[in-house]
Structure 1
Protein backbone atom coordinates (compact mmCIF):
# COMPACT_ATOMS: atom_id res chain seq x y z
CA UNK A 1 0.00 0.00 0.00
CA UNK A 2 2.74 2.35 0.99
CA UNK A 3 4.75 1.38 -2.12
CA UNK A 4 1.81 2.11 -4.42
CA UNK A 5 1.19 5.46 -2.74
CA UNK A 6 4.87 6.42 -3.02
CA UNK A 7 4.92 5.49 -6.70
CA UNK A 8 1.79 7.52 -7.33
CA UNK A 9 3.27 10.59 -5.63
CA UNK A 10 6.53 10.24 -7.54
CA UNK A 11 4.75 9.95 -10.86
CA UNK A 12 2.56 12.95 -10.07
CA UNK A 13 5.61 15.06 -9.18
CA UNK A 14 7.38 14.04 -12.38
CA UNK A 15 4.37 14.99 -14.50
CA UNK A 16 4.17 18.35 -12.71
CA UNK A 17 7.84 19.10 -13.41
CA UNK A 18 7.47 18.18 -17.09
CA UNK A 19 4.38 20.38 -17.41
CA UNK A 20 6.14 23.31 -15.72
CA UNK A 21 9.15 22.98 -18.02
CA UNK A 22 6.96 22.90 -21.11
CA UNK A 23 5.03 25.95 -19.92
CA UNK A 24 8.28 27.82 -19.19
CA UNK A 25 9.56 27.03 -22.69
CA UNK A 26 6.48 28.71 -24.15
CA UNK A 27 7.04 31.93 -22.15
CA UNK A 28 9.13 34.77 -23.70
CA UNK A 29 12.71 34.93 -22.48
CA UNK A 30 13.63 37.74 -20.12
CA UNK A 31 16.98 38.08 -21.97
CA UNK A 32 17.30 39.57 -25.49
CA UNK A 33 18.97 37.37 -28.10
CA UNK A 34 22.59 38.17 -28.90
CA UNK A 35 22.80 40.66 -31.79
CA UNK A 36 24.11 39.39 -35.11
CA UNK A 37 27.49 41.05 -35.78
CA UNK A 38 28.29 41.84 -39.38
CA UNK A 39 31.98 42.70 -39.57
CA UNK A 40 32.91 45.49 -41.96
CA UNK A 41 35.24 44.28 -44.70
CA UNK A 42 38.87 45.15 -43.91
CA UNK A 43 40.29 47.90 -46.14
CA UNK A 44 43.10 46.82 -48.43
CA UNK A 45 45.23 48.69 -50.94
CA UNK A 46 45.53 45.63 -53.15
CA UNK A 47 43.90 46.01 -56.56
CA UNK A 48 43.84 47.87 -59.86
CA UNK A 49 42.80 51.53 -59.94
CA UNK A 50 42.15 54.34 -62.41
CA UNK A 51 41.79 58.06 -61.78
CA UNK A 52 42.38 61.69 -62.69
CA UNK A 53 44.52 64.52 -61.33
CA UNK A 54 45.16 68.25 -61.64
CA UNK A 55 47.75 70.62 -60.26
CA UNK A 56 50.55 73.08 -60.97
CA UNK A 57 53.95 72.66 -62.59
CA UNK A 58 56.92 74.99 -62.79
CA UNK A 59 60.05 74.88 -64.89
CA UNK A 60 63.39 74.61 -63.08
CA UNK A 61 65.62 74.38 -66.16
CA UNK A 62 66.93 77.16 -68.42
CA UNK A 63 66.90 77.78 -72.15
CA UNK A 64 69.53 79.90 -73.83
CA UNK A 65 70.20 81.01 -77.38
CA UNK A 66 73.64 81.58 -78.72
CA UNK A 67 74.63 84.21 -81.25
CA UNK A 68 78.31 84.36 -82.21
CA UNK A 69 78.21 88.16 -82.13
CA UNK A 70 76.58 88.54 -78.71
CA UNK A 71 77.22 85.32 -76.83
CA UNK A 72 74.48 83.70 -74.75
CA UNK A 73 71.21 85.60 -74.82
CA UNK A 74 67.71 84.66 -73.85
CA UNK A 75 66.80 82.73 -70.75
CA UNK A 76 63.56 82.15 -68.95
CA UNK A 77 61.24 79.84 -67.03
CA UNK A 78 57.50 79.43 -66.77
CA UNK A 79 54.83 77.58 -64.85
CA UNK A 80 51.21 76.65 -65.31
CA UNK A 81 48.42 74.10 -65.20
CA UNK A 82 49.10 70.36 -65.17
CA UNK A 83 46.35 67.76 -65.51
CA UNK A 84 45.67 64.26 -66.77
CA UNK A 85 44.88 60.69 -65.82
CA UNK A 86 46.56 57.69 -64.26
CA UNK A 87 46.11 53.95 -63.80
CA UNK A 88 47.99 51.41 -61.75
CA UNK A 89 48.07 48.43 -59.43
CA UNK A 90 48.93 48.05 -55.73
CA UNK A 91 49.72 44.96 -53.68
CA UNK A 92 49.62 45.12 -49.88
CA UNK A 93 51.40 42.72 -47.54
CA UNK A 94 51.15 43.66 -43.89
CA UNK A 95 51.79 47.38 -43.56
CA UNK A 96 53.76 47.60 -46.80
CA UNK A 97 52.41 48.44 -50.24
CA UNK A 98 54.17 47.95 -53.57
CA UNK A 99 52.75 49.04 -56.89
CA UNK A 100 53.22 50.45 -60.38
CA UNK A 101 51.56 53.45 -62.01
CA UNK A 102 51.53 55.14 -65.40
CA UNK A 103 50.10 58.56 -66.21
CA UNK A 104 49.79 61.01 -69.11
CA UNK A 105 49.57 64.77 -68.53
CA UNK A 106 48.95 68.05 -70.30
CA UNK A 107 51.54 70.50 -68.97
CA UNK A 108 51.91 74.25 -69.54
CA UNK A 109 55.37 74.41 -67.99
CA UNK A 110 57.67 74.86 -71.01
CA UNK A 111 60.78 77.01 -70.81
CA UNK A 112 60.51 80.42 -72.42
CA UNK A 113 63.41 82.48 -73.70
CA UNK A 114 63.64 86.24 -73.45
CA UNK A 115 63.33 88.35 -76.56
CA UNK A 116 66.26 90.21 -78.06
CA UNK A 117 65.21 92.71 -80.67
CA UNK A 118 63.51 90.95 -83.58
CA UNK A 119 65.82 87.94 -83.54
CA UNK A 120 64.87 85.96 -80.41
CA UNK A 121 61.49 85.65 -78.76
CA UNK A 122 59.72 83.35 -76.30
CA UNK A 123 58.20 80.11 -77.54
CA UNK A 124 54.95 78.51 -76.43
CA UNK A 125 54.71 76.74 -73.09
CA UNK A 126 52.18 74.04 -74.00
CA UNK A 127 53.32 70.44 -73.94
CA UNK A 128 52.79 67.01 -72.43
CA UNK A 129 54.61 64.43 -70.37
CA UNK A 130 54.02 60.95 -69.05
CA UNK A 131 55.61 58.62 -66.53
CA UNK A 132 55.93 54.90 -65.80
CA UNK A 133 56.78 54.57 -62.11
CA UNK A 134 57.17 52.13 -59.26
CA UNK A 135 55.53 52.98 -55.92
CA UNK A 136 56.52 51.79 -52.45
CA UNK A 137 54.88 52.88 -49.22
CA UNK A 138 53.71 52.18 -45.71
CA UNK A 139 49.98 51.91 -44.94
CA UNK A 140 48.41 53.09 -41.70
CA UNK A 141 44.99 51.54 -42.21
CA UNK A 142 43.39 53.83 -44.82
CA UNK A 143 46.34 56.24 -45.06
CA UNK A 144 49.28 55.46 -47.36
CA UNK A 145 52.60 57.33 -47.38
CA UNK A 146 54.69 56.43 -50.41
CA UNK A 147 57.73 57.22 -52.55
CA UNK A 148 57.70 56.86 -56.33
CA UNK A 149 60.14 56.99 -59.23
CA UNK A 150 60.84 55.74 -62.71
CA UNK A 151 60.87 56.62 -66.41
CA UNK A 152 59.54 59.92 -67.78
CA UNK A 153 58.96 61.14 -71.33
CA UNK A 154 57.44 64.18 -73.00
CA UNK A 155 57.73 67.33 -75.06
CA UNK A 156 57.40 70.32 -72.78
CA UNK A 157 56.90 73.49 -74.75
CA UNK A 158 59.95 75.01 -76.36
CA UNK A 159 61.70 78.21 -77.23
CA UNK A 160 61.55 79.67 -80.70
CA UNK A 161 64.41 81.53 -82.31
CA UNK A 162 63.74 83.79 -85.24
CA UNK A 163 65.98 84.36 -88.22
CA UNK A 164 64.68 87.10 -90.58
CA UNK A 165 65.52 84.93 -93.57
CA UNK A 166 64.50 81.50 -92.36
CA UNK A 167 61.64 82.31 -90.01
CA UNK A 168 60.85 80.65 -86.69
CA UNK A 169 62.19 77.20 -85.92
CA UNK A 170 61.23 74.69 -83.28
CA UNK A 171 61.82 70.96 -83.42
CA UNK A 172 58.96 69.04 -81.79
CA UNK A 173 60.09 65.71 -80.43
CA UNK A 174 59.49 63.50 -77.42
CA UNK A 175 62.42 63.06 -75.05
CA UNK A 176 62.99 60.49 -72.33
CA UNK A 177 64.29 60.99 -68.81
CA UNK A 178 63.48 60.17 -65.21
CA UNK A 179 61.27 61.25 -62.32
CA UNK A 180 61.24 61.01 -58.52
CA UNK A 181 58.62 62.01 -55.97
CA UNK A 182 56.28 61.00 -53.22
CA UNK A 183 52.85 61.54 -51.80
CA UNK A 184 50.06 60.71 -49.37
CA UNK A 185 46.90 58.81 -50.32
CA UNK A 186 43.79 58.14 -48.25
CA UNK A 187 40.97 55.63 -48.69
CA UNK A 188 37.78 57.70 -48.50
CA UNK A 189 35.70 54.55 -49.06
CA UNK A 190 36.64 50.97 -49.92
CA UNK A 191 36.73 52.00 -53.59
CA UNK A 192 37.52 55.74 -53.66
CA UNK A 193 40.93 57.13 -52.70
CA UNK A 194 42.29 60.68 -52.79
CA UNK A 195 45.94 61.73 -52.99
CA UNK A 196 48.36 64.65 -52.99
CA UNK A 197 51.60 64.03 -54.86
CA UNK A 198 54.79 65.85 -55.80
CA UNK A 199 57.16 64.96 -58.65
CA UNK A 200 60.45 66.20 -60.05
CA UNK A 201 60.84 65.43 -63.76
CA UNK A 202 64.07 65.67 -65.75
CA UNK A 203 64.03 65.16 -69.52
CA UNK A 204 67.13 65.19 -71.70
CA UNK A 205 68.59 68.52 -72.75
CA UNK A 206 68.35 69.04 -76.48
CA UNK A 207 68.87 71.69 -79.13
CA UNK A 208 65.76 72.95 -80.85
CA UNK A 209 67.13 75.47 -83.34
CA UNK A 210 70.26 75.69 -85.41
CA UNK A 211 71.46 77.65 -88.44
CA UNK A 212 74.85 78.81 -89.56
CA UNK A 213 74.36 82.10 -87.68
CA UNK A 214 71.93 81.45 -84.84
CA UNK A 215 71.90 78.47 -82.53
CA UNK A 216 69.62 77.56 -79.64
CA UNK A 217 72.15 75.27 -78.04
CA UNK A 218 70.68 74.61 -74.61
CA UNK A 219 67.25 73.71 -73.28
CA UNK A 220 67.06 72.05 -69.87
CA UNK A 221 63.66 70.40 -69.59
CA UNK A 222 63.41 70.10 -65.82
CA UNK A 223 60.27 70.87 -63.85
CA UNK A 224 58.43 70.23 -60.63
CA UNK A 225 54.80 69.18 -60.26
CA UNK A 226 52.40 69.28 -57.32
CA UNK A 227 49.00 67.72 -57.96
CA UNK A 228 45.91 66.30 -56.31
CA UNK A 229 44.11 63.24 -57.63
CA UNK A 230 41.20 60.86 -57.13
CA UNK A 231 41.29 57.12 -57.89
CA UNK A 232 38.64 54.44 -58.21
CA UNK A 233 39.97 51.12 -56.88
CA UNK A 234 38.55 47.84 -58.22
CA UNK A 235 38.14 45.23 -55.45
Structure 2
Protein backbone atom coordinates (compact mmCIF):
# COMPACT_ATOMS: atom_id res chain seq x y z
CA UNK A 1 0.00 0.00 0.00
CA UNK A 2 1.30 3.47 -0.86
CA UNK A 3 2.62 5.50 2.07
CA UNK A 4 0.91 8.52 0.55
CA UNK A 5 -2.57 6.97 0.63
CA UNK A 6 -4.89 9.22 2.60
CA UNK A 7 -2.40 12.09 2.80
CA UNK A 8 -2.97 15.60 1.46
CA UNK A 9 -0.46 16.80 -1.13
CA UNK A 10 -0.32 20.46 -2.17
CA UNK A 11 1.59 21.42 -5.30
CA UNK A 12 2.48 25.02 -6.08
CA UNK A 13 2.97 25.06 -9.83
CA UNK A 14 0.96 21.89 -10.35
CA UNK A 15 -0.74 22.63 -13.66
CA UNK A 16 1.96 21.55 -16.12
CA UNK A 17 5.28 19.74 -16.44
CA UNK A 18 6.79 18.14 -13.37
CA UNK A 19 4.16 19.59 -11.05
CA UNK A 20 1.25 18.14 -13.01
CA UNK A 21 3.01 14.79 -13.42
CA UNK A 22 3.52 14.64 -9.65
CA UNK A 23 -0.12 15.55 -9.05
CA UNK A 24 -1.18 12.68 -11.30
CA UNK A 25 1.18 10.23 -9.59
CA UNK A 26 0.07 11.33 -6.12
CA UNK A 27 -3.58 10.93 -7.10
CA UNK A 28 -2.86 7.41 -8.36
CA UNK A 29 -1.10 6.69 -5.06
CA UNK A 30 -4.28 7.53 -3.16
CA UNK A 31 -3.45 11.04 -1.97
CA UNK A 32 -5.84 13.98 -1.97
CA UNK A 33 -4.23 16.55 -4.26
CA UNK A 34 -4.47 20.34 -4.37
CA UNK A 35 -2.79 22.13 -7.28
CA UNK A 36 -2.16 25.80 -7.90
CA UNK A 37 -1.18 27.74 -11.00
CA UNK A 38 -1.43 31.24 -12.41
CA UNK A 39 -3.43 30.49 -15.57
CA UNK A 40 -7.12 29.68 -14.86
CA UNK A 41 -7.52 27.88 -18.18
CA UNK A 42 -4.53 25.65 -17.60
CA UNK A 43 -5.72 25.04 -14.05
CA UNK A 44 -9.07 23.85 -15.38
CA UNK A 45 -7.37 21.52 -17.84
CA UNK A 46 -5.21 20.08 -15.06
CA UNK A 47 -8.24 19.42 -12.86
CA UNK A 48 -9.95 17.60 -15.72
CA UNK A 49 -6.95 15.29 -15.99
CA UNK A 50 -6.75 14.76 -12.24
CA UNK A 51 -10.38 13.87 -11.81
CA UNK A 52 -13.15 14.84 -9.38
CA UNK A 53 -11.14 14.17 -6.23
CA UNK A 54 -8.60 16.89 -6.97
CA UNK A 55 -8.81 20.52 -5.94
CA UNK A 56 -7.25 23.58 -7.53
CA UNK A 57 -6.90 27.31 -6.99
CA UNK A 58 -5.34 30.14 -8.93
CA UNK A 59 -2.10 31.41 -7.38
CA UNK A 60 0.48 33.98 -8.41
CA UNK A 61 3.70 32.45 -7.12
CA UNK A 62 5.46 35.78 -7.36
CA UNK A 63 3.04 37.34 -4.85
CA UNK A 64 3.32 36.52 -1.14
CA UNK A 65 -0.31 37.41 -0.46
CA UNK A 66 -1.52 35.22 -3.31
CA UNK A 67 0.48 32.26 -1.97
CA UNK A 68 -1.04 32.78 1.48
CA UNK A 69 -4.56 32.91 0.03
CA UNK A 70 -3.87 29.73 -1.92
CA UNK A 71 -2.67 27.90 1.19
CA UNK A 72 -5.64 29.20 3.17
CA UNK A 73 -7.91 27.69 0.53
CA UNK A 74 -5.94 24.44 0.47
CA UNK A 75 -6.25 23.98 4.23
CA UNK A 76 -4.18 21.52 6.25
CA UNK A 77 -1.63 19.44 4.35
CA UNK A 78 0.89 16.66 4.74
CA UNK A 79 3.24 17.36 1.84
CA UNK A 80 4.17 20.44 -0.17
CA UNK A 81 5.90 20.51 -3.54
CA UNK A 82 7.07 23.86 -4.95
CA UNK A 83 8.00 23.73 -8.63
CA UNK A 84 7.86 27.23 -10.21
CA UNK A 85 10.92 28.25 -12.20
CA UNK A 86 11.87 30.41 -15.14
CA UNK A 87 14.84 29.90 -17.45
CA UNK A 88 16.64 32.90 -18.91
CA UNK A 89 19.33 31.87 -21.41
CA UNK A 90 21.84 34.68 -21.06
CA UNK A 91 25.55 35.16 -20.48
CA UNK A 92 26.41 37.09 -17.33
CA UNK A 93 28.70 39.52 -19.16
CA UNK A 94 25.85 40.50 -21.47
CA UNK A 95 22.97 40.43 -18.99
CA UNK A 96 21.09 43.24 -17.31
CA UNK A 97 19.46 43.11 -13.91
CA UNK A 98 16.07 43.60 -15.54
CA UNK A 99 16.63 40.44 -17.60
CA UNK A 100 17.72 38.15 -14.81
CA UNK A 101 15.84 39.35 -11.73
CA UNK A 102 12.48 37.74 -12.68
CA UNK A 103 14.10 34.31 -12.96
CA UNK A 104 16.03 34.69 -9.71
CA UNK A 105 13.03 36.04 -7.83
CA UNK A 106 10.49 33.50 -9.04
CA UNK A 107 12.17 30.30 -7.91
CA UNK A 108 13.55 31.63 -4.63
CA UNK A 109 10.63 33.66 -3.34
CA UNK A 110 8.09 31.00 -4.32
CA UNK A 111 10.05 28.49 -2.25
CA UNK A 112 10.63 30.91 0.62
CA UNK A 113 7.06 32.10 1.03
CA UNK A 114 5.37 28.77 0.30
CA UNK A 115 7.49 26.89 2.83
CA UNK A 116 7.21 29.37 5.68
CA UNK A 117 3.46 29.73 5.17
CA UNK A 118 2.79 26.01 4.70
CA UNK A 119 4.76 24.69 7.68
CA UNK A 120 2.25 25.84 10.34
CA UNK A 121 -0.56 24.25 8.31
CA UNK A 122 1.04 20.80 8.27
CA UNK A 123 -0.42 17.86 10.15
CA UNK A 124 2.40 16.34 12.15
CA UNK A 125 5.79 15.76 10.56
CA UNK A 126 5.09 16.39 6.90
CA UNK A 127 7.49 17.22 4.09
CA UNK A 128 8.44 20.14 1.87
CA UNK A 129 10.12 19.54 -1.47
CA UNK A 130 11.56 22.23 -3.73
CA UNK A 131 12.78 21.76 -7.29
CA UNK A 132 16.12 23.07 -8.46
CA UNK A 133 18.14 21.70 -11.38
CA UNK A 134 21.57 20.43 -12.32
CA UNK A 135 22.67 23.95 -13.33
CA UNK A 136 23.04 24.55 -9.60
CA UNK A 137 25.95 22.12 -9.38
CA UNK A 138 27.19 21.71 -12.96
CA UNK A 139 28.14 24.78 -15.04
CA UNK A 140 26.08 24.89 -18.24
CA UNK A 141 26.60 27.51 -20.99
CA UNK A 142 24.11 30.40 -20.78
CA UNK A 143 22.54 29.03 -17.59
CA UNK A 144 24.39 30.96 -14.88
CA UNK A 145 21.17 32.61 -13.74
CA UNK A 146 19.36 29.28 -13.53
CA UNK A 147 22.31 27.86 -11.62
CA UNK A 148 22.30 30.70 -9.12
CA UNK A 149 18.57 30.35 -8.44
CA UNK A 150 18.90 26.57 -8.05
CA UNK A 151 21.78 26.93 -5.61
CA UNK A 152 19.83 29.51 -3.59
CA UNK A 153 16.88 27.14 -3.16
CA UNK A 154 19.19 24.29 -2.15
CA UNK A 155 20.85 26.50 0.48
CA UNK A 156 17.43 27.58 1.77
CA UNK A 157 16.38 23.95 2.15
CA UNK A 158 19.40 23.11 4.31
CA UNK A 159 18.56 25.88 6.78
CA UNK A 160 14.89 24.92 6.87
CA UNK A 161 15.73 21.35 7.91
CA UNK A 162 16.47 22.60 11.43
CA UNK A 163 14.20 25.63 11.48
CA UNK A 164 11.06 23.73 10.47
CA UNK A 165 11.77 20.39 12.18
CA UNK A 166 10.11 17.92 12.45
CA UNK A 167 8.90 18.87 8.95
CA UNK A 168 11.29 17.24 6.48
CA UNK A 169 12.79 19.39 3.71
CA UNK A 170 14.41 18.17 0.49
CA UNK A 171 15.20 19.34 -3.03
CA UNK A 172 14.58 17.49 -6.27
CA UNK A 173 17.20 18.40 -8.89
CA UNK A 174 16.24 17.26 -12.41
CA UNK A 175 18.31 17.32 -15.54
CA UNK A 176 16.76 18.14 -18.91
CA UNK A 177 13.12 17.02 -18.89
CA UNK A 178 10.56 17.11 -21.70
CA UNK A 179 8.30 19.88 -20.35
CA UNK A 180 6.74 23.14 -21.59
CA UNK A 181 9.41 24.98 -19.58
CA UNK A 182 12.16 23.33 -21.61
CA UNK A 183 10.33 24.05 -24.86
CA UNK A 184 10.16 27.74 -24.01
CA UNK A 185 13.83 27.80 -23.03
CA UNK A 186 15.10 26.11 -26.20
CA UNK A 187 12.79 27.98 -28.58
CA UNK A 188 12.41 27.30 -32.28
CA UNK A 189 15.46 25.02 -32.46
CA UNK A 190 14.12 22.85 -29.64
CA UNK A 191 14.20 19.52 -31.52
CA UNK A 192 17.79 19.94 -32.68
CA UNK A 193 18.99 20.99 -29.25
CA UNK A 194 17.17 18.14 -27.51
CA UNK A 195 18.71 15.68 -29.96
CA UNK A 196 22.18 17.04 -29.20
CA UNK A 197 21.60 16.88 -25.44
CA UNK A 198 20.23 13.35 -25.68
CA UNK A 199 23.22 12.23 -27.72
CA UNK A 200 25.56 13.45 -24.97
CA UNK A 201 23.84 11.36 -22.28
CA UNK A 202 24.55 7.69 -21.59
CA UNK A 203 20.87 6.78 -22.08
CA UNK A 204 20.60 8.84 -25.30
CA UNK A 205 17.42 10.63 -24.17
CA UNK A 206 16.19 13.36 -21.88
CA UNK A 207 13.88 12.74 -18.93
CA UNK A 208 10.12 12.37 -18.79
CA UNK A 209 7.97 14.28 -16.28
CA UNK A 210 6.59 11.02 -14.87
CA UNK A 211 10.11 9.88 -14.00
CA UNK A 212 10.72 13.04 -12.00
CA UNK A 213 7.32 12.64 -10.36
CA UNK A 214 8.34 9.18 -9.12
CA UNK A 215 11.31 10.77 -7.38
CA UNK A 216 9.12 13.49 -5.87
CA UNK A 217 6.79 10.88 -4.38
CA UNK A 218 9.79 9.02 -2.96
CA UNK A 219 10.92 12.18 -1.14
CA UNK A 220 7.43 12.67 0.25
CA UNK A 221 6.88 9.08 1.30
CA UNK A 222 10.22 8.15 2.85
CA UNK A 223 10.24 9.45 6.43
CA UNK A 224 14.04 9.24 6.68
CA UNK A 225 14.76 11.41 3.65
CA UNK A 226 15.64 14.81 5.05
CA UNK A 227 18.05 17.57 4.04
CA UNK A 228 18.91 15.94 0.73
CA UNK A 229 19.30 17.15 -2.84
CA UNK A 230 18.15 14.24 -4.99
CA UNK A 231 19.57 14.49 -8.51
CA UNK A 232 17.71 12.70 -11.30
CA UNK A 233 19.41 13.65 -14.53
CA UNK A 234 20.29 10.59 -16.59
CA UNK A 235 23.92 10.96 -15.42
CA UNK A 236 24.21 14.41 -16.99
CA UNK A 237 26.40 15.62 -14.10
CA UNK A 238 28.93 12.91 -14.95
CA UNK A 239 29.40 13.59 -18.66
TM-score tier after normalising by the smaller chain length = under 0.3
TM-score (norm 1): 0.24
